[in-house]
Amino acid sequence: MSAYPKSHALMRRGAAFLGTEHAVLCGAMSWVSERNLVSAISNAGGFGVIACGAMSPDLLDAEITATKALTDKPFGVNLITMHPQLTDLIAVCGRHQVGHVVLAGGIPPKGSVEAIKAFGGKVIVFAPTLALAKKLLRSGGDALVIEGMEAGGHIGPVSTSVLAQEFLPALAEDHLVFVAGGIGRGEAIAGYLEMGAVGVQLGTRFACASESIAHPAFKKAFFRAGARDAVASVQVDARLPVIPVRALRNKGTELFTAKQREVAGQLDSEALEMAEAQLQIEHYWAGALRRAVIDGDVENGSLMAGQSVGMVTQEEPVATIMQSLMDQCEAALLRR
């Protein structure tokens, strides 16, 4: 007998797809979503997702192996579509029989979805517009995550509530849609489930869990911050394909603006090709995020956080966070 009958009834399709107790995914946060947090989320009945980010195939191989040693529950791997070794990373997932691969950061390159399907993996995609969502689902996406601009890390321009109202009535009946961005409490989860979502994805809420390896200084910055402190980065040059990133305002925010100016200058002098410029920006983020998460340099590093950061006030075990989210969701549904 479920402790959350109403929530689980609405999450049924999402939980069956993920193979989990609760249809709650943890967003893939580079440097944070590694073996410890991922296994803790899965062990707590949710769905952990390894953030591959800029990892090499060998590093991803080691990370999946280590995660399997910590949990026997399902978990997924998030791959960035522009990664130069995407094909090799998919092959690593195949060797490990990873059940679900999340393709993020753009339209999946030709053959990538097919390569995942070939080893029996399920494909989870992101789409910023309804037209693109339909196209990706037609071309092999098994489930879709719609992520609003309230989220941390790379974001689109539209809020979660607007995306949910646009996408869910059009897609929810025939497709599996998860909602992400700015979710910090169970009442919001209840609302999206009632609108037709099969589950949700949260990142910021789990970033400072006891099991998260993030540096104590990184966690402290989250505990101090309010929603208004999580700001979107500025795009300096229209030619630079800079997807805005939401992070806590600090010196690192200014450094990124300077980095963009430098790369734009190199484009002007033709010292850089456009693809290389884009990669440089991506590598900048990976490095800046590592400085904050691993080294605890909260001044110069990137403190990627969603606007729900104001609801993150203390370090708690993943199981406690999951239970409170589910308790709040169920209570909200019972009040209806």
pLDDT digits (tens, 9 = 90+) for 42-98: 999 999 999 999 899 999 999 999 999 999 999 999 999 989 999 999 999 999 999
- Residue 29 predicted with pLDDT over 70: yes
DSSP letter (8 states) at residue 206: H
CB 31 within 8 A of CB 53: yes
Rounded-to-integer distance, Cα 95 and Cα 273, Å: 34
Torsion of CA 55, 203, 91, 70, to 10 degrees: 90
* Amino acid 45: pLDDT: 98
293 versus 276: the higher-pLDDT residue is 293
* The predicted structure's pLDDT at residue 130: 97
Q: Which of 79, 89, 15, 9 is closest to 47 using CA atoms?
A: 15
Which stretches within 139-215 are classed as H helix? 160-171, 186-194, 204-207
In the numeric block, which tokens belong to residue 241? 């394909």
pTM of the model: 0.95
DSSP assignment string, 240-260: S----EEEE-SHHHHHHHHHH
Q: Which amino acid is at 219?
A: K
Burial class (CB in 10 A: 0-12, 13-18, 19+), 20: buried
Higher pLDDT, 271 or 306: 306
Q: By the 8 A CB rule, do 177 and 197 touch?
A: yes
User: What percentage of the chain has pLDDT greater than the value 70?
Assistant: 99
Give bridge partners of residue 143 from the DSSP assignment. 124
- CA–chain centroid gap for 314, Å, is 21
The whole-number average pLDDT for the span 286-305 is: 94
How are the residues of the chain apportioned to helix, strand and coil, as percentages rounded to the nearest 5?
Answer: 50, 15, 40
Identify the CA nearest to 280 among candidates 265, 302, 304, 259: 259
Q: How far apart are CA 79 and CA 102, in angstroms?
A: 6
Q: How far apart are CA 134 and CA 193, in angstroms?
A: 20
Q: Is the pLDDT at 274 greater than 90, yes or no?
A: no
